[in-house]
Structure 1
Amino acid sequence: MENLLNKIERVPKDKKLIVFDLDGTLVETKSSLDDETAELFGQLLAQKKVAVIGGASFERFRKDLVDRLNVSPELLGNLFLFPTTASSFYRYDNKWIQVYSEEFSKEQKEKIMDAFEKAFKEIDYVRPEKTYGEIIEDRGSQITFSALGQDVVAELGEEGIKLKKKWRDENQGLKLKLAGILQRYLPEFEVRAAGYTSIDITRKGIDKEYAIRQIQKHLGVSIEDMLFVGDALFERGNDNAVLRTGIMCFEIKEVEDTKELIRYLVK
């Protein structure tokens, strides 16, 4: 595809807004921004507007991204956060302000939880012997299943990341099957296999294409002036939906690739 790039030298430096995926792109899964990325990210904020989209909650965006930055409040004004797969949006004006949030109703949450129970029974799902934190987390505008629990990386650090990668390698087919069954039970919602061990559920139509449209609407930046950076732009990857907008995309494989791109952009 013409708008999908994987060579840095082909990336235009004149884009006004850079849009990043979070997990697997800016940080390792459920980890914090490392020192080098934080420094580079701050340099980028001094030159361009930056948006970050991810399935994580706003609280995790604060802890693992914002709190790792050493930048002025003025530069935070160039940072725009789209947690829970852009079902919510936050911008900075002396404090973080919620612009919108597509919250589930109590009845919708109950229907989703019931669908999980039915889907688990249908595939005879057996939970891992040990899990860490909630398996199904209510993030207000998104409900997320995480096979090893939401806190595996917080509790185990690097070992937790290894466990998540191991589970993904052994159970990717199972996760995709579970997501497909959930979508059948929940046709009026959006169900996505995300990250290493997760399945995210949001209102229908809320995906990363929706995120780009919201960025365009709220920030007044044309899609032609944006660059999207992500690690899952492949077919059925949870970044793939952005390609439908025509946005120019740069595909990375790991966080080190993102660092290299930012160095190139700020040079």
Structure 2
Amino acid sequence: MDYSKVKIVVTDLDGTLAPSKAPMDEEMSKIICRLLSIKAMAVVGGGFYSQFQKQLIGALKCPAEKLSRLYLFPTNATAFYKFSVSEWQKVYSEDLSEEQKKLIYSAFPKALELAGFKNPEKLYGNQLEDRGTQITFSALGQEAPLELKSAWDPDQKKRMAIKQQLDKLLNGFEIRLGGTTSIDITKAGIDKSYAISKITEIFGYSKQEMVFIGDALYEGGNDYAVKLTGVESISTSGPEETKSLLRSIINSSQP
């Protein structure tokens, strides 16, 4: 792909720009700042805004004029934040109704039982988290150490078994694997392809002017929906490979 024609770089957050649930490092911050000098950037993640604050905003050291070219889409673009003057401001948030949340919560015990899921001896925080615009299941708990999460379901088979049961129990919802131990549930039609449509709607970029980088582009992964939109999609194994990809985009776009 000719990256010089790309006007906006769209990326996943968790496992792409930063390790799972951890802040990105200083090197990634510098690379993103360089990228924002020449292109716009949108970050789309399954986590809610506070996760973006922890993993991205808090670690990003860029001048305000560059931050104005960075767009944040938490919970798979059901919320949108942009930088204005001196702070990040919420533009919209499309929350689940209380009835929808109850349906999702009530489906999990049966789905887990049918999938043969066994609770770990120790949970690190809550397994189910209400993120407003989505409900997220984390098998080992929201605060589980990265080394445990990485080892728990490397081939996605455990979560796919749970997802298959949830698909039978929940109509009218999108169910996607995210991160290393998570399952995200949103309203129907809300996945990362929704982010692409919102970016087009809000900023006017065509799909040919975008490139997407994510670590879950496999079928059933929460980045897979972007691939189906026709946007050029690049799979990454993690932050180190993402750095190389972003450097390539920067270098090929400079005179």
What range describes the TM-score normalised by the shorter chain of this pair?
over 0.9
CA distance in 2, matches of 1:124, 1:15: 45
Quick check: 1:102–1:203 contact (8 Å CA) kept in 2?
no
- CA separation of 1:214 and 1:230: change in aligned 2, threshold 3 A: same
Say which of 131, 134, 138 aligns to 1:142: 134
- Residue in structure 1 matched with residue 151 of structure 2 by the alignment: 166
- Residue in structure 2 matched with residue 78 of structure 1 by the alignment: 69
Q: Which amino acid aligns with 1:245?
A: T
CA distance in 2, matches of 1:116, 1:236: 18
Q: Which amino acid aligns with 1:165?
A: S
Q: Which amino acid aligns with 1:166?
A: A
Secondary structure, counterpart of 1:37 in structure 2: helix
Q: Which amino acid aligns with 2:130?
A: D
- Residue in structure 2 matched with residue 6 of structure 1 by the alignment: none
Say which of 137, 160, 165 aligns to 1:176: 160
The answer to whether residue 255 in structure 2 is matched with residue 256 in structure 1 is no
Say which of 221, 237, 240 aligns to 1:237: 221
- Residues paired across the two proteins, number: 250
Say which of 14, 37, 48 aligns to 1:23: 14
Q: Which amino acid aligns with 1:60?
A: Q
TM-score (norm: length of structure 2)? 0.93
- Residue in structure 2 matched with residue 266 of structure 1 by the alignment: 250
TM-score (norm: length of structure 1)? 0.89
The answer to whether residue 205 in structure 2 is matched with residue 221 in structure 1 is yes
Quick check: 1:104–1:140 contact (8 Å CA) kept in 2?
yes
- Residue in structure 2 matched with residue 7 of structure 1 by the alignment: none
Deviation at 1:202, TM superposition (A): 0.3
- CA separation of 1:40 and 1:140: change in aligned 2, threshold 3 A: same
- Residue in structure 2 matched with residue 102 of structure 1 by the alignment: 94
- Residue in structure 2 matched with residue 117 of structure 1 by the alignment: 109
Quick check: 2:178–2:216 contact (8 Å CA) kept in 1?
no
Quick check: 1:208–1:242 contact (8 Å CA) kept in 2?
yes
- Residue in structure 2 matched with residue 4 of structure 1 by the alignment: none
Q: Which amino acid aligns with 1:99?
A: V
The answer to whether residue 123 in structure 2 is matched with residue 131 in structure 1 is yes
Which has the larger displacement, 251-260 or 42-51? 251-260
Query: Share of identical aligned residues, percent?
Result: 44
Task: Let me know the Cα RMSD of the aligned residues.
Answer: 1.4
Q: Which amino acid aligns with 1:110?
A: K
Deviation at 1:209, TM superposition (A): 1.0
Structure 2 gap segments, 5+ residues each: none
Quick check: 2:215–2:235 contact (8 Å CA) kept in 1?
yes
- Residue in structure 1 matched with residue 80 of structure 2 by the alignment: 89
- CA separation of 1:250 and 1:11: change in aligned 2, threshold 3 A: farther
Q: Which structure 1 residue ranges, 4+ long, deviate > 3 Å from structure 2?
A: none
Say which of 32, 39, 42 aligns to 2:33: 42
Deviation at 1:14, TM superposition (A): 2.7
Quick check: 1:25–1:229 contact (8 Å CA) kept in 2?
yes
Say which of 160, 170, 192 aligns to 1:208: 192
Quick check: 1:229–1:251 contact (8 Å CA) kept in 2?
yes
Secondary structure, counterpart of 1:19 in structure 2: strand
Q: Which amino acid aligns with 2:151?
A: K
Secondary structure, counterpart of 2:156 in structure 1: helix
Quick check: 2:22–2:55 contact (8 Å CA) kept in 1?
yes
- CA separation of 1:111 and 1:221: change in aligned 2, threshold 3 A: same
Deviations 1:63-88 (A, max 9, x none): 21011111112211101011111111
Deviation at 1:234, TM superposition (A): 2.5
CA distance in 2, matches of 1:47, 1:259: 16
Which has the larger displacement, 207-216 or 88-97? 88-97
Deviation at 1:11, TM superposition (A): 4.8
Secondary structure, counterpart of 1:13 in structure 2: helix
Deviation at 1:254, TM superposition (A): 2.2
